[in-house]
């Protein structure tokens, strides 16, 4: 990694179109780490990929996946390229996932229809939160429920008690990110986070990136 990441970014951007460069900048203006999503042992692979897609569409940069039982891979066909733009953080156990999120300043919020939960539209979006989703059959584990700082649920008025996990996540993510953007809190990425993502996305976009970065090292050795 170069000492001057900005110098590398400026060099690499010469290999992209101006439209692509500006698109990255525009998208990053709406990216956030104020919220993050965590999924626990979601059996249906397509649900994980669909939730990732919702994170990307509504601007959540980080998705946490805890796979203690199934350990499946992302379905790229359903993710529709979202795996390139969203950061996937995989955890082997719930304890380490929760500890990591708390260390980053997140409160732990469990989604469940069975508790005395806060209704989605009443949830306080000003607090930095990690929203947890579980399996459709079993819901979230007892470990998450015990560790949770709060609970939220989607208002439902029919006979069915739950929605498909990917649908639930999409509804929650759209609601909280929309309301977040109408607050005065600093929900945007920091300047350093924006630079990191611009560099990451640029690398993923350029063909023969290893060769091009090698050229940069040869031309600008003092920056490494």
Please check whether residue 109 is in contact with residue 130, taking contact to mean a CB–CB distance below 8 angstroms.
yes
Residue 32 among known ligand-binding residues: no
Tell me: pLDDT of 72 over 60: no
Q: For position 78, what pLDDT does the model report?
A: 37
pTM for the full predicted model: 0.88
Comparison of pLDDT for 175 and 67, the residue scoring more: 175
Spatial CB neighbours of 223, under 8 Å, sequence gap ≥ 6: 2, 3, 4, 7, 8, 216
Rg of the chain's alpha carbons, rounded to an integer? 19
Min mean pLDDT across 115-129, 157-171, 209-223 is at: 209-223
Residue 163 among known ligand-binding residues: yes
Residue 74 among known ligand-binding residues: no
Identify the residue whose tokens are 């953007």.
181
């Amino acid at each position: 990694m170069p000492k001057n990441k900005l110098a590398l970014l400026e060099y690499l951007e010469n290999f992209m179109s101006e439209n692509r460069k500006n698109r990255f900048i525009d998208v990053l203006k709406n990216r956030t780490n104020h919220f993050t999503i965590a999924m626990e042992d979601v059996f249906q692979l397509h649900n994980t990929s669909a939730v990732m897609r919702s994170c990307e569409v509504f601007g959540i940069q980080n998705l946490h996946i805890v796979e203690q039982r199934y350990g499946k891979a992302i379905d790229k066909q359903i993710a529709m390229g979202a795996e390139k733009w969203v950061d996937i953080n995989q955890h082997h156990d719930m304890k380490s996932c929760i500890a990591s999120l708390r260390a980053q300043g997140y409160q732990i919020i469990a989604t469940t229809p069975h508790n005395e939960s806060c209704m989605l539209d009443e949830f306080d979006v000003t607090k930095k939160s990690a929203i947890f989703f579980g399996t459709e059959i079993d819901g979230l584990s007892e470990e998450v429920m015990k560790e949770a700082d709060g609970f939220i649920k989607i208002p439902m008025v029919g006979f069915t008690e739950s929605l498909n996990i990917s649908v639930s996540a999409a509804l929650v993510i759209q609601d909280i990110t929309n309301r977040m953007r109408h607050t005065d809190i600093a929900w945007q990425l920091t300047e350093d986070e924006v630079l990191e993502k611009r560099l990451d996305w640029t690398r993923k976009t350029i063909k023969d990136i290893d060769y091009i970065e090698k050229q940069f090292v040869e031309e600008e050795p003092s920056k490494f």
